[in-house]
Every structure is written in structure tokens, then in C-alpha cells.
Amino acid sequence: MRYDFMILDVFTAKPFGGNQLAVLTDARGLTSEAMQTIAREFNFPESTFVLPPDDPAHARRVRIFTPAVELPFAGHPTVGTACALAISDAVPLGHIVLEEGVGPVPVTTATDGANFSARFRLSRAPEHFDPPSADDMAAILSLDPGEIVDVFSASVGVNFTYVHLRSREAVDQCQLDLDAWRRLLSSHPASQVYMFAGDLEDGGEIYSRMFGPSFGIAEDPATGAAAAAIVGVAASRSGSLDLRITQGVRMGRPSSIQASATAEAGEVRSIEVGGSCALIAEGSIEVPDDYLER
């Protein structure tokens, strides 16, 4: 059976940048095994599979797969899937709700006539975990421990360990030591590694990279779930703020993420993350019958 798909570059207005995403716009009839196999075939950081919603008040249900695992939530697939549905006129521009593994996720889509964009909203604070030591993270990232400013672990549905480094140059120098990662971090609740430089303050800009070996992602060009958690952590420390995040530069796939959070008395009330998308391709994939629900 043939299934239609769209390929978008997410968190960029220019084709061939940002983070690649495959969206199967009507995935009814596919088994979970088929979805995982198709995601591995595309081999993008994530692929999404769009289904009818459980609640008719919502736009669609979305399942998200990396080449290795299914995720309950992810940022660039949420933004990209919302844009794909708007581009194809499957949903109207404006406010919609996507059902994901973490529950309903409100998303707002827009267009300026040339580019589509989307912004999702979370109404919860990040979850925190006891972080690994700076020495362990230095070993994992092949860095001198003196380059590390801070280490913390947090999540809004996908868990990350954040390593704040002294400079953009230090971020670019990071090389994942897989043996050290397996020994020191693979069993930690937040085993994906997000390195960044810059100031976590209102109007600040940070420069980042992300290694996701547990997800089958060697390096991610843009990580919206990580952006959501880090802006939430920053807001819990210093109050409401906006951040601009640049990622994927060293990979040759520059991305730009806008993230904001509101907080009162140290309590995070809401988090928003968004950016532009570029439509790259449309087509269909032939799926053998033994991958279909019976």
C-alpha cells in the first residue's frame, strides 16, 4: 500500500538547513513496527506518523520515531508536522492541538506568504534529575574540565543532560567518546547530551549542539524539546525570558529556534518554542502488506 509523505527542513526558512523531518500525513493502517522501520529507512533524526485524533476537538494524533525508538514528544517534529498539515491544507492556519505521547500539545501555525512557521506551547515546568559530574561530562565530550561552567539535567518529555561551556569554540571542539558515554552516562535518566555556550538571560543567545546516541542520533541539527527544557530551567532561575538558540552550524545545517518561558515567583507557568519550516519534497512510499494492521 502506498503512503504519502512530505519532507521538511525545520527551524529554518531556507531549504537544506535546519533539521530534516519526514511526515506521513495519513498513517492509518501502519503497525508500530512499520512506523519504526519507515523511520529507520528515512534515517532522519525523527519521522512522524499522523493519525486521526482520539478527541475530535483536536486536529490530529502524532506518533514520533527516531531511527531507533519512539518518543513521547519532540520539538522539531511537532513544529514540522504542524507546518506540513497547514501547507497541505489538512488543517487551517492558526491554533490547533496535536495529540502526542505526553498529551495534548497546542500549536499555532502562521505564514508570511513565503514561509510557514509554527510555535508550540507547554503549560508545565521542566522535570529535574540529579546531574552527572562535570568531570564525567568532560570525559564524555573529550574536553578539559575547566571548559565547563555548569551541568544540569532536565526534561519536558525527553530527557537531556545540559553542559554549559565557556565558549562557542569549546562547543565546536566537543567530540563524543562513546566508550566513556556508555560507561558514565548511558544508564543515567538523561543520557542525551546538549552542549551550549551563551547567557541564559532575557534576550540572550545561545549556541548549541546535541548528541543523542540512545536515540540513534549521532548529532541533531535542531532540538526543540531541549530548547523547551533549557528555557524553562532558565525561567525558574531568573524569571520570564526569551532566548534565541542557534544549532547545527558545525554540521552545515544551521537552525534558528525561538524559545520563551513565563514564570512567577520561580514557578514556570508556560513554555513556547517555535521557528520556520521549508518544504523540500513530497512523494509516496510503498509499504508491504505484512507491515499493515490486520
**The model's pTM:** 0.96
Specify the CATH number for the domain of residue 95.
3.10.310.10
Question: Could you tell me if 126 and 133 are in contact, meaning their C-beta atoms sit under 8 angstroms apart?
Answer: no
Same domain, 174 and 198: yes
* Residue 108 confidence (pLDDT): 98
Our measurement of the distance from residue 170's CA atom to the centroid of its chain's CA atoms, rounded to an integer in Å, reads 23
Per-residue model confidence as pLDDT tens digits over 58-94 = 999 999 999 999 999 999 999 999 999 999 999 999 9
Are 63 and 180 part of one and the same domain? no
- Tens-digit pLDDT profile for residues 152-179: 999 999 999 999 999 999 999 999 999 9
One domain for residues 108 and 132: no
pLDDT band at 273 (very low <50, low <70, confident <90, very high): very high
User: How many separate domains does the chain show?
Assistant: 2
State the cell numbers at 205: 543567545
Full domain range(s) for residue 28: 2-123+278-291
CB burial of 153-186 (b: ≥16 within 10 Å; e: otherwise) equals bbbbbbbbbbbbbeebebbebbebbeebbeebbe
Q: Which three cell numbers stand for residue 256?
A: 534558528
Q: What is the largest CA-CA distance in the chain?
A: 57
- Contact criterion met (CB below 8 Å) for 99 and 61: yes
Same domain, 95 and 161: no
Are 75 and 32 in the same domain? Answer: yes
| Beta strands in 112-203, from DSSP E residues, in sequence order | 116-122, 127-129, 148-155, 159-165, 192-198
- Residue 266, pLDDT > 90, answer no
**36 and 53 belong to one structural domain:** yes
Q: What is the pLDDT of residue 71?
A: 98
**One domain for residues 136 and 113:** no
Distance, C-alpha 291 to centroid of its chain: 27
Confidence of residue 254 (pLDDT cuts 50, 70, 90): very high
| Mean of per-residue pLDDT scores for the chain | 97
Active site residues: 46
Pairing type for strands 192-198 and 159-165 reads: parallel
pLDDT digits (tens, 9 = 90+) for 182-237: 999 999 999 999 999 999 999 999 999 999 999 999 999 999 999 999 999 999 99
Rounded distance between C-alpha atoms, residue 254 and residue 11, angstroms: 9
- Indicate whether 134 and 237 sit together in one domain: yes
The SS3 call for residue 197 is strand
pLDDT value of position 38: 98
Residues 168 and 86 in one domain: no
Percent of the chain at pLDDT above 70?
100
pLDDT at position 294: 84
**One domain for residues 136 and 38:** no
Looking at the structure, tell me whether residues 40 and 83 fall in a common domain. yes
Both 192 and 218 in a single domain?
A: yes
pLDDT per residue over 92-144, tens digit each?
999 999 999 999 999 999 999 889 999 999 999 999 999 999 999 999 999 99
